[in-house]
Chain A
């Protein structure tokens, strides 16, 4: 079974600063994707960024980037130039790939507060 661990229940960052959220995962499989989802107070789940395990290059999406360390099974999210709208719960998630309708496995989340 796959597990996802987010060791930081809460974090805060000053507006315009950079913050890094941690995520580790455990799997014996080799083919998978990793995601960060954002959940603002509205509680909608919004995709932030995705990383395919077979890609060595770290994914980036505007102010969001990841540090994917496959050997260490680590997948951290860096948010640059933090904005007030970044205040949300952030969930790290894992999914196996290949033929099938695989489920997402989520971590417990990190609550990020951006302070003006």
Chain B
């Protein structure tokens, strides 16, 4: 069964550094998402992406964040200058159509030191 994949599984970085989190959505899916989960808290929406552009973003998704779909398969989240409070689990999700279920990847644990 096709699944969403994410790399790396764990990323450790120094405060102020740039990180890129990578996701490969399910191949025929058209809608892409990033969510984050700070340890012990609920999952929070960051951004949605459709038709090669951001369709919705939350207050968390400020100018330090960007997303890109550089080719037909990858979907990336870039944090330009990481802060301690960016430490969290980051989940990528995708779905086929607007009314379909979102399927999540296994997550990337980001640790900012």
Contact = CB atoms under 8 A, between A and B. Distances in A.
A103 B107 contact: no
A16 to B, nearest CB: 29
Interface residues of B, number: 28
B52 interface: no
Contacts of B43: 45, 91, 93, 104, 106
Interface stretch (A20-28, A64-72, A76-84, A94-102): A94-102
Interface in B32-61: 33, 35, 37, 41-45, 48-50, 55-56, 58
B101 A35 contact: yes
Interface in B66-96: 89, 91, 93
Contacts of A106: 42-44
18 contacts: A33-B99, A33-B101, A42-B106, A43-B109, A44-B105, A44-B106, A45-B93, A46-B104, A50-B101, A91-B42, A101-B50, A103-B58, A104-B43, A104-B93, A106-B43, A106-B44, A108-B41, A108-B42
Contacts, number: 66
B60 to A, nearest CB: 12
A97 B98 contact: yes
Contacts of B98: 97-102
A95 B45 CA distance: 12
Given A43-B89, A43-B107, A104 B102 contact: yes
